[in-house]
Structure 1
Amino acid sequence: MVKFLLILLIISLVFRFVLPVILRLLVGRFVQKQARRYGQQFGGGASPFEGAFGGRPAAPTPPPAGGNVRVDFVPPKQDKGTPRDFKGGEYVDFEEVK
């Protein structure tokens, strides 16, 4: 009986402390491999996880000097009111039933 409890204790300690460390290493390497594969497939050798897993980090962009703001995209202005091509919807009369 004592031998069974000792074996059960050892197995539970392995599952609790050793197995998570091994799984983290394996999953981390798998994610790195997949990120590299998809990075090469969709253009460029840089992967999105390169900075997080020890690769060269991305260089931060410097802030605009002198309070100037750089705008990359300005959405087109829409006319206020209803659009011209809207012809209305289909309206259904109903009665409130109490």
Structure 2
Amino acid sequence: MFIKILLIFLVLALVLRFVLPLLMRHLLVGFLQKQARRHGQQLGGAPFGGAAPPPSPGRDAPGQVHIDYVPPTPRRTKDKPTEFKGGEYVDFEEVK
């Protein structure tokens, strides 16, 4: 009876010491890769060095700027000047 309990304890200890960390590492890596793929799809990127998705047709080449929206310029009122006429001159002295 005592030998049977000791063997069960020994097998359980070996499983917890060697097999469980490998299993947990495998599950954690799989979970992290799944999350990275999910976030990569949301952001349009390719995780883990995979090939980037091809550019969609009708878009500019990489490095080109495309502006979708330009906000309207505010109207000038008669109270505000239309251009800057200058400011006060301040003499510069170098301090050593």
TM-score, normalising length from structure 1? 0.47
TM-score, normalising length from structure 2? 0.48
Point out the structure with max Rg over C-alpha: 2
Which has the bigger relative contact order, CA under 8 A and spacing at least 6?
1
